[in-house]
Amino acid sequence: MLAYRTDQCCDCWSIYNRTTVDENRHLRLLDEPAGYKYAKWRCPQIPCPFVACAPCFNPPYGLVCDDLICRGAETWQEILHACQALPQDKQSYCYGNAAISAYQNEGEEQAARICTSLDGIETWGTPFSADCLLQVARLIMANDPQRSVLFCRAYMTTLQSNCLNETAYAIGSTDLDEGLIVCSEISVNGDSDLEQKDFCFYSLAMTAAKTDLARARQVCTWMSREVEKCQLEAEEVAK
45-55 pLDDT tens trace: 544 434 433 33
CA 140 – CA 185 distance, rounded (Å):
19
Report residue 26: phi and psi, to 5°. Answer: -90, 0
> What is the residue range of 216's domain?
159-239
On whether residue 220 sits in a domain, the answer given is yes
Query: Are residues 238 and 219 in contact, defined by beta-carbon separation less than 8 angstroms?
Result: no
pTM of the model: 0.71
On whether residue 229 sits in a domain, the answer given is yes
- DSSP per residue over 183-224, as a string? HHT---SSHHHHHHHHHHHHHHHHHHHTT-HHHHHHHHTTSS
100-113 pLDDT tens trace: 889 988 899 999 99
On whether residue 182 sits in a domain, the answer given is yes
Which of 32-36, 67-71, 146-150, 175-179 is predicted least confidently? Answer: 67-71
Total count of domains within the chain: 1
On whether residue 199 sits in a domain, the answer given is yes
On whether residue 205 sits in a domain, the answer given is yes
On whether residue 105 sits in a domain, the answer given is no
C-alpha of 86 from chain center: 18
